[in-house]
Structure 1
């Protein structure tokens, strides 16, 4: 044991960055770490801001992965898409863990700065809406909160013109078990309605999975993803209920009632239904 201070430069570590790329430069940390602007003197407002900013960063990555997974699946390249979908599931695991930190804020803590939020609410997150749209939970009525931002509205409207991730999965399912035209030619911008024909088609894949490994694994990747997504929704609900009870949300939603209703929304309904029918 020695008390001699350790100098990384002696082992070749780069210590001078004048005019060279540094860690702070590469990650653009200056704008990121200066983007927190509490509107009150409440201690816990910083927690609230960072919780939501980091969630948006994770959703940025989820969108990156989901977009790539869909494009890869459209080309019929299953294996890379499986890795991307697994990553998205783990992203939502990270988002779930973040609620544990926010739950250290008590109702009294939140009351001190809640008025400073004005009408802003997570309900208005365009990235969250894009995630839902890509996964297939599409509702054109949800475009309205973004009408004041033509750039964000355009992104959401464009997404509604594309097949959802589940639509792409169904197109592959159709190659093995023909699906009704009404499923294949439906208006992709509208909410997806469960179909018994689709349930039976997926059940066929599960019953003979040895012959349909790629579709079988795709189905399980989707279920895994929705499982983590549901947990995130549930933890969102319980966190909100713990902090504000049954009050209305800052954005005017019914608060916990709205979030509880979202728990009943299934992204890939037939993949859950078939578990009863098998």
Structure 2
């Protein structure tokens, strides 16, 4: 017969399980002391904490996005599509988190932002080196966007590397070419630092997969993963511009950009143009 545990033994066991003095704790593993003490408001305003946390958490999501995006590009370059699909799907879900983050920042009213704006000096999301790496890895190459990071050698090196590498779309087109689809040679090997130019030949290559998806299922799925990703990215850009307009109107950005006028131009950027055009031509 099994001996029944005494109440005092149960209490002792529970206390032992709650003793983290000898082992790594939750806070230790996540380095929460450093993270939760990284919010240093410069103004006396209550709402500055929202502004700081919003941007810090966005940078954390962008760190994960770069981690997944870089790995997905490497997988595609090695013809390893199943793990790449998982990573690209995760990038799209991360982008959805960033889209919804604007909903929280949009609770800041114009007077509340105006009260903290003088304390921001010239700091601006325009200067986010992680965001610039994401733009470059997604193919929106612009040499002028290196300049905001020129004052910090380590960050400039990271952005420069993203600028010089083939983008996600470049590697997808090289994959299509390896599979025998008729991708023009000048889209398989080119100067990766130059902005991508749309090509009827590239569209015809994608159409091979889209017209016979049962024969090219993984390439067809790749095209849809790209569609999901750009769809989410467009939503993020739209929520960005509407939130900025809601909070500051058409004032210039703190980093010296045109603010809303600059962000609206970004709405016209198409990352994977043939993926969208082929829908009309199917």
TM-score by length of 2: 0.93
Partner of 2:185: 181
Match of 2:107 among 94, 104, 119: 104
The change in CA–CA distance for 1:95 and 1:8 in structure 2 (over 3 A counts) is farther
Between the aligned partners of 1:269 and 1:212, the Cα distance in structure 2 is 20
Partner of 1:20: 23
Between the aligned partners of 1:257 and 1:276, the Cα distance in structure 2 is 30
Partner of 2:160: 157
Structure showing greater Rg: 2
Are 2:218 and 1:209 equivalent residues in the alignment? Answer: no
Note if contact 2:182-2:204 (Cα within 8 Å) is conserved in structure 1.
no
Match of 1:39 among 15, 39, 42: 42
* 4+ runs deviating over 4 angstroms: 7-13
Between the aligned partners of 1:107 and 1:9, the Cα distance in structure 2 is 56
The number of aligned residues is 272
Partner of 1:257: 261
RMSD of the TM alignment (CA)?
A: 1.4
Note if contact 1:161-1:188 (Cα within 8 Å) is conserved in structure 2.
yes
Are 2:201 and 1:197 equivalent residues in the alignment? Answer: yes
Between the aligned partners of 1:160 and 1:48, the Cα distance in structure 2 is 29
Between the aligned partners of 2:164 and 2:243, the Cα distance in structure 1 is 34
Give the superposition deviation at 1:178.
Answer: 2.2
- In the TM superposition, what whole-angstrom CA distance separates every residue of 1:47-70 from its partner, at most 9, and x where no partner exists? 000000000000000000001111
Give the superposition deviation at 1:17.
Answer: 1.7
Q: Secondary structure at the match of 2:257?
A: coil
The change in CA–CA distance for 1:180 and 1:29 in structure 2 (over 3 A counts) is same
What are the equivalent positions in structure 2 for 1:42-191 lying under 5 Å apart? 42-174=45-177, 175-191=179-195
Note if contact 1:38-1:45 (Cα within 8 Å) is conserved in structure 2.
yes
Are 2:248 and 1:244 equivalent residues in the alignment? Answer: yes
Between the aligned partners of 1:192 and 1:43, the Cα distance in structure 2 is 44
Q: Secondary structure at the match of 1:211?
A: coil
Q: Secondary structure at the match of 1:53?
A: helix
Q: Secondary structure at the match of 1:248?
A: coil
- In the TM superposition, what whole-angstrom CA distance separates every residue of 1:93-144 from its partner, at most 9, and x where no partner exists? 1111111111111001101100111001001100000011111111111000
Q: Secondary structure at the match of 1:54?
A: helix
Q: Structure 2, unaligned stretches of length 5 or more?
A: 1-9
Give the superposition deviation at 1:184.
Answer: 1.5
TM-score by length of 1: 0.95
